[in-house]
Amino acid sequence: YQQPAPKPRGRRGGLIAAVLVAALVAGGLGGGLGYTLAKNDDGGSTTVAASDAGASQVKRDPNSIAGVAAKALPSTVTIEAESTNGQGGTGTGFVFDTQGHIVTNNHVVADAVDGGKLTATFPDGRKYDAEIIGHAQGYDVAVIKLKNAPSDLKPLALGDSDKVAVGDETIAIGAPFGLSNTVTTGIISAKNRPVASSDGSSDSKASYMSALQTDASINPGNSGGPLLDARGAVIGINSAIQSSGSGGGLGGSGQSGSIGLGFAIPINQAKYVAQQLIKTGKPVYAKIGASVATSQDGAGGATISDQGAGGGAAVEPGSPAAKAGLKSGDVITKLDDTVVDSGPTLIGEIWTHKPGDTVKITFKRDGKEHTVDVTLASRIGDSAS
């Protein structure tokens, strides 16, 4: 699969105007449901912060939700990104290490990629200029670094998203609609939910994830914030919600919010991506070297086609797919034990692996089922190659 070009930037407007829209591609909820990247596209809006003046000094159990939130909040930031022409938005991030690296979504910082302004504000009011270290449009992960970072940074503990179970408690932290330092709770509603998020203009500008689904309240402005388990360890990056609104853009009276369907990038994948971005500044993607159709065409799988998002050859010569004998028209139905029902599902599943991993691919050709082992190759950077 050839990675599409980066999505275009948003625009200023009302409180949630021009929030990017995503599309559900598979996973049992049905095609066509609208998803919204949980970013507040209004960098100029006034942030309303709750005051703790006069709050009770009653001690909380450190293992309670209040205890977990009190420990995690100082390690989260509200991010404001603004482009050179005034476009901007607000999102969330969390401290990744003591050197000042902050992990967030790519779509949160996209406005500031080409010379724009980026700031990060902690709950205690400390505000820092920041720079983008690396961003991965396909994974929708980015790493920024605080300029003149303080010496007292406390990275959030990272959990193991592979061990998360449906029904586990979740805690989300973010800045919904500009309301910084907001804490919400819920459970893990589903795992491995294939979601493709984009600006709604083109399948070729999508990001793909095999997401953790949660009913914790997530709204525009929560993007990039941590999804925590009951112990306070990060298990995901809050990235998208199902929107109850219709159409592509949100603005005016068309304000859409949480309806209990939120999606987070699993932290095991995000950690790997963040480490690569810190190391080289560029993302590394696993690939099989085949272009697949990104629409649901009723084929019951991922169809290898030169009409895929990359627009190139159906099977790249010398690629793992070519070596395995795959060719245009083959319909991939499983990757290892995971059922593949569309191109985006396949892409999301491949990207949960690392280059060099060997996977088992099941495909149909002329009505007959075949299974082959494929060792994944790598591609560096977001541009198609």
**Residues marked as catalytic:** 107, 140, 223
- Alpha-carbon distance values, 303 to 340, 374, 376 (Å): 10, 17, 18
Phi–psi pair at 362, nearest 5 degrees: -105, 130
**Chain centroid, CA 124 distance in Å:** 27
Residue for token digits 């010398």? 318
Beta-bridge partner residues of 190: 213
Contacts of 142 (CB under 8 A, 6+ apart): 103, 104, 105, 106, 108, 109, 132, 134, 135, 136, 224, 277
3-state SS, residue 194: strand
Which among 33, 328, 347 is positioned nearest to 207, based on CA atoms?
Answer: 347
Q: Give the 3-state secondary structure of residue 302.
A: strand
Q: Which helix (H) or strand (E) holds 120?
A: strand 117-121
Q: Please name the residue that has the structure tokens 């507040």.
A: 40
